Amino acid sequence: MNSFVRLGFVPRGYDLGLLVLRLWTGIGLFLMHGLPKVTGFSGMAAHFPDPLHIGSRWSLAFAVLSDAICSLLIVLGLATRWAALIVAINTGVAFVMVHKLHLFGEHNGELAFLFFGAALTLFIAGGGRFSVDGKV
């Protein structure tokens, strides 16, 4: 019973946890945000949010870097901490400046908040043993 309460039957390890976090976050970010930005870049460029006042096209380009390229780097665990830093900056700016820190109600920033937390965790911890970074 004690083993059941402590979930002793579930393998425990930071590296396995980081692998799951990398795959879940990277694949989710790529499919939900990266791929649509890449395939719809020209249609989005004119009206994409520009919270840092660098221009909609440049803001979208940075979001493509974050959501498409860096998400795939995170999945691979290649340059994980750098990729996670870029994702954390992008999602942090989205949460604070676009969604205005709103976690509830219509047009909330819940997803940006969650991606920010995952990216921040990966920035701090790195990709773990089961990553390209861990093999180097």
Q: What is the pLDDT of residue 12?
A: 79
Q: What is the pLDDT along the chain (136 residues), one digit of tens a residue?
A: 677 788 877 777 899 999 999 999 999 999 999 999 999 999 999 999 999 999 999 999 999 999 999 999 999 999 999 999 999 999 999 999 999 999 999 889 999 999 999 999 999 999 999 999 998 7
Domain contains 21: yes
Structure tokens at 90: 């992008």
Q: Structurally, how many domains does the chain consist of?
A: 1
Q: What is the pLDDT of residue 1?
A: 62
Phi and psi at 132, nearest 5°, equal -60, -40
Domain assignment of residue 56, given as a range: 14-135
Q: What does R_g of the chain's alpha carbons equal in angstroms?
A: 17
Is residue 77 within 8 A of residue 128, CB to CB? The reply is yes
Q: What is the pLDDT of residue 116?
A: 98
Does pTM top 0.85 for this prediction?
Answer: yes
Domain contains 23: yes
Domain contains 9: no
Domain contains 7: no
Domain contains 83: yes
Domain contains 1: no
Domain contains 6: no
Q: What is the pLDDT of residue 135?
A: 87
Domain contains 2: no
**DSSP H stretches of helix in the chain:** 2-5, 14-29, 35-39, 41-44, 56-64, 71-76, 80-93, 110-125, 132-135
